[in-house]
Amino acid sequence: LEMARAVKAHGYPMVLNFVTHRHNIDKIDRIIELCIALEADFVELATCQFYGWAQLNRVGLLPTKEQLVRAERITNEYRAKLEAEGHPCKLIFVTPDYYEERPKACMNGWGSIFLTVTPDGTALPCHGARQMPVQ
């Protein structure tokens, strides 16, 4: 917290990223309040990405659909409040694809801006594409 305050005291912009999961997403309001108190310019509230260890523990980490709906509603309420007050903090809420019919575009649209090239020379439209069940 001290470092965050020092960043703002020196006039630098601050971006905070909070990884949410089943066990902390119900505290989203407290997380947002902390970000506002620290004068964050941008806040990314992103659900845990399920690669490696997290993939093995997805059942214990993936928020329920109801938790995600509630957290997004609360985030939207804070967005509206901040905008009405002219507060500069921008809240970015990133949901997982597990409750959707199709995955959302990755990195601003698959391969539209960036490509990932692996050490063996394979070009991927997204850093996670190798884990997807593509025929």
pLDDT 10s digits, 43-89: 999 999 887 788 889 999 999 999 999 999 999 999 999 999 999 99
The Cα 39–Cα 89 span in angstroms is: 7
Percent of the chain with pLDDT over 90: 63
Report phi then psi at 78, rounded to 5. Answer: -65, -40
Q: What is the pTM of this model?
A: 0.79
Q: How far apart are CA 97 and CA 104, in angstroms?
A: 7
